[in-house]
Amino acid sequence: MKRLLLAFVFVCATAVAVHAMDIRQGFGKHRYGESCQTLFSGPSFAVERARPVWNRQLQMFGLAYDPDVVAKSPFILHYDKDEKPQFQGIPLNRIYYGCDKKTGRFSLVVLVHDLLTVKDLVKKTTALLGEPTDTTMIQTIWVLPDLYVQIDQVYMIIYDRRAGKI
């Protein structure tokens, strides 16, 4: 009986730790670097037609729908149709999980949010990561050794920089 109780406590502690994962390690219950085929398969998952594209000149991400641009993106986005997404208690419209086309590994998250939540997202992210590297009227950016985080009027993008160069 003691072993069963101990096993239950261990499972519960592990579940809480995974749910409260540090955004430097992953997002929600998904760790950066894990296989996308394993993480994002099943009847509730779908592939988004938009793709994240890194703009070298502006040093920021954008989402593209144009088929020619989409083909050049190094990412594929998956989403869970049944998910009720949130970030640190802030409700979101959708979360897209980005997978590297070459490696098949999870390395990027795109959080689609409401314009009214930008201030709260910046506040929560600053509490987690410290002061932003750059702030303009339309975006706030953190460029850290392990993460690149961008919050604009529609998206919050988190990229695990250990996954490769953008």
Assess if residue 24 is contained within a domain.
no
Assess if residue 26 is contained within a domain.
no
Q: Indicate the number of domains in the chain.
A: 1
Strand, coil or helix: what is 161?
A: helix
* Structure confidence at residue 141 as a pLDDT band (50, 70, 90): very high
Range of the domain at 150: 33-160
pTM for the full predicted model:
0.85
pLDDT value for 110: 97
For residue 73 the two structure tokens come to 């993106």
**Is pLDDT of 163 > 90?**
no
Q: In angstroms, rounded to a whole number, what is the distance separating the alpha carbons of residues 96 and 51?
A: 10
Assess if residue 4 is contained within a domain.
no
Model confidence pLDDT, tens digit, residues 55-100: 988 889 999 999 999 999 999 999 999 999 999 999 999 999 999 9
User: How far is Cα of residue 54 from the mean position of the Cα atoms in its chain?
Assistant: 15
Assess if residue 118 is contained within a domain.
yes
Q: In angstroms, rounded to a whole number, what is the distance separating the alpha carbons of residues 38 and 146?
A: 24
Assess if residue 2 is contained within a domain.
no
Q: In angstroms, rounded to a whole number, what is the distance separating the alpha carbons of residues 24 and 160?
A: 7
pLDDT value for 165: 74
Assess if residue 139 is contained within a domain.
yes
pLDDT value for 159: 96
User: Is residue 28 left, alpha or beta, with left meaning phi > 0 and alpha meaning psi from -120 to 50?
Assistant: left
**Is pLDDT of 126 > 80?**
yes
The average pLDDT across 125-152 equals 95
Assess if residue 59 is contained within a domain.
yes
Q: In angstroms, rounded to a whole number, what is the distance separating the alpha carbons of residues 48 and 33?
A: 20
Assess if residue 3 is contained within a domain.
no
More confident position, 50 or 14: 50
What average pLDDT does the chain have?
87
**Is pLDDT of 153 > 90?**
yes
